Structure 1
Amino acid sequence: MSTSTPILVLGGTGTVGSRVADHLRGAGHSTRVATRHAECRFDWSIPDTWGPALAGIQTMYVLLPDDTGMPTSFMQEARRSGVRRVVLHSDRGIDVMNVTHLQETERQVRESGCDWTIVRPDWFNQDFETFFRQSVLDGRLCVPIGSTRQGFVDADDIAAVTAQALTRKDHIGQILPLTGPRALSFPEALTHIHDATGLTIDFDGTPDAYRDSLRAEGTPDEVVDTLIENFSAAAAQGDTTPTGIVEEILQRPGKDFSTYAREAAARGVWQKP
């Protein structure tokens, strides 16, 4: 595709979005990163910020903030502005965990009239240095998923696949469920972190432990109950079978969690203050 018009990256400063922008730039594509705090300001809750971000754009990547749905008028405005292609970052657990705001967002993208691709990653390797980092440092992680094996996938691989989807025609009209090269339970993943850092991290995959940990943080019981119900549904699916899509699209092996853990440890992400 031509690099004469920029590719819009919405959510381009986070774990995956920043990597998507880097991959695009590295391949020679003009890129416009738009967020609430970027040079090109974009705020989902302020429609007046949409037009300047969309101006002159034909292709865009959309990564929504956590627990945020796409406003119903956004795709209409994007289409009127000249957008003809969109790649949406979604979630592999969207249906089993009943992620309703992403289900609705996917529908809007599919029905927008644009060429579309939906990327659905499993858990990120990098979740252990963001959402779970403090638990790793504290030596105890609670997620009510039991011992089922998950398809932990590296953010660099997600971004590389996304960049391909934005710049090639091969994946138009496709939903891409992304996993790492092998499925791991949380205890197995934590063992790799232990091997790389020497940290001992206990794992409790029971609903009771998860409930206690969230109550200690002040999370309302009704929210906790919903989360446990959704995690239970995911656990009931059993072990994840790697999809191989990362390897197929990138024509190289996906990053194994053990490699990620060694690299993250070398970056010092789990060093205690």
Structure 2
Amino acid sequence: MTRNTDVRTVLVTAATGKTGRRVAERLAARGFAVRAGSRGGGTLFDWEREETWGPALEGAGLVYAAYYPDLAAPGAVEALSAFGRLAAGAGVRRVVLLSGRGEPEAARAEEALRQAAAGVGLVVVRAAFFVQNFTEGALAEGVAAGAFSFPAGSVAEPFVDADDLADVVVAALTEDGHAGKVHEVTGPRPLTFAQAAAELGAALGREVRYVPVSRARYAAELVGYGLPEPEAAWLAGLFASLLDGHNASVTDGVRRVLGREPRDFADAVKAAFAPGAGV
């Protein structure tokens, strides 16, 4: 594999996802050569097929790594270790890794990448729960129908706007002074899911209800949507563990990186549901 890399060439993994798409768009607008990595179309990249990683990395100087389904998933440590070795061998200069706040398993995957990619400037961006999970993600269908369920009880979460996250990632990729750092990004205030439902309803002009459910009930709902039972149980458990209150605090990550305040939940959902927004 060649080590002749170009810092204007960026591999963006999961480039059709909520964050990858935004990162790719911002980099392209700045004149970077973007390799939009995905399982279909663009640059072939699949986290479950290691043979796709090397060709996607070849010649790229920068990488945005958004691991699917989550850094806390079984097998993530091994995958990130292998990916790190390939990235280092390919001569990649910097990797920005998307991670989650307060996830011990994700932290293990971060460290595996850090050790395997010695010499590569690694930046970790740990994000709160995305606002866009309500507008273009797993909960969007329920929001559109007027009610959504989730195993979060009355716990508050400082939801982060995916556009803010993308701006942080692009800054970490393209500006000096970020290598070796961990940036934790949140929105400006914590909201319970019931409060989030009220904000969503206000933006839509009609009632939206939050229905708290148990971990087991949510897993059963996911199975009903077609998710395999083991994956549904793991995902429900992950959400329940993250939304137990330990992530309710707000950080200044967005302000420190971008020099401005993060966008509020209410403003983000109003923009998402505005006429012509495409949601």
TM range (shorter): 0.7 to 0.9
Amino acid aligned to 1:201: V
* Equivalent in the alignment of 2:16: 13
CA, structure 1 residues 73+226, in 2 after alignment: closer, same or farther (shift >3 Å)?
A: closer
State TM-score, norm by structure 2.
0.83
Please say if residues 15 and 37 of structure 2, whose CA atoms lie closer than 8 Å, have aligned partners that are also in contact.
yes
Amino acid aligned to 2:146: G
* Equivalent in the alignment of 2:133: 127
What's the offset of the Cα at 1:214? 4.1
Q: Any gaps of 5 or more consecutive residues in structure 1?
A: none
* Cα separation, 2, equivalents of 1:63 and 1:220: 22
* Cα separation, 1, equivalents of 2:59 and 2:244: 46
* Equivalent in the alignment of 1:160: 167
Q: Is 1:25 matched with 2:31? A: no
| Among candidates 188, 196, 213, match of residue 189 of structure 1 | 196
Q: Is 1:210 matched with 2:213? A: no
* Cα separation, 2, equivalents of 1:36 and 1:224: 22
Give the structure with the higher percent strand. Answer: 2
| Among candidates 151, 171, 193, match of residue 178 of structure 2 | 171
Give aligned pairs, total. 265
CA, structure 1 residues 44+148, in 2 after alignment: closer, same or farther (shift >3 Å)?
A: closer
* Cα separation, 1, equivalents of 2:178 and 2:191: 28
CA, structure 1 residues 205+84, in 2 after alignment: closer, same or farther (shift >3 Å)?
A: same
* Equivalent in the alignment of 1:59: 62
Query: Alignment partner of 1:164: what SS?
Result: helix
What's the offset of the Cα at 1:221? 6.8
CA, structure 1 residues 4+206, in 2 after alignment: closer, same or farther (shift >3 Å)?
A: closer
* Equivalent in the alignment of 1:199: 206
Q: Percent identity?
A: 32
* Equivalent in the alignment of 2:274: 266
* Cα separation, 1, equivalents of 2:230 and 2:55: 40
Once the two structures are overlaid, the 10-residue window that deviates more, 214-223 or 148-157, is 214-223
Please say if residues 120 and 178 of structure 1, whose CA atoms lie closer than 8 Å, have aligned partners that are also in contact.
yes
Deviation beyond 3 Å, 4+ runs, structure 1 = 2-5, 45-48, 208-236, 267-271
CA, structure 1 residues 153+4, in 2 after alignment: closer, same or farther (shift >3 Å)?
A: closer
What's the offset of the Cα at 1:56? 1.3
CA, structure 1 residues 194+269, in 2 after alignment: closer, same or farther (shift >3 Å)?
A: farther
What's the offset of the Cα at 1:162? 0.2
* Cα separation, 1, equivalents of 2:200 and 2:244: 26
Query: Alignment partner of 1:16: what SS?
Result: helix
Please say if residues 142 and 209 of structure 1, whose CA atoms lie closer than 8 Å, have aligned partners that are also in contact.
no
* Cα separation, 2, equivalents of 1:34 and 1:218: 26
Please say if residues 154 and 194 of structure 2, whose CA atoms lie closer than 8 Å, have aligned partners that are also in contact.
yes
Please say if residues 133 and 270 of structure 1, whose CA atoms lie closer than 8 Å, have aligned partners that are also in contact.
no
Q: Is 1:78 matched with 2:77? A: no
Please say if residues 84 and 114 of structure 2, whose CA atoms lie closer than 8 Å, have aligned partners that are also in contact.
no
CA, structure 1 residues 81+22, in 2 after alignment: closer, same or farther (shift >3 Å)?
A: same
* Equivalent in the alignment of 2:45: 42
Query: Alignment partner of 2:156: what SS?
Result: coil
What's the offset of the Cα at 1:238? 5.2
* Cα separation, 1, equivalents of 2:275 and 2:183: 30
Query: Alignment partner of 1:58: what SS?
Result: strand
Amino acid aligned to 2:89: R
Amino acid aligned to 2:271: E
Once the two structures are overlaid, the 10-residue window that deviates more, 152-161 or 135-144, is 135-144
For the aligned residue pairs, the C-alpha RMSD in angstroms reads: 2.7
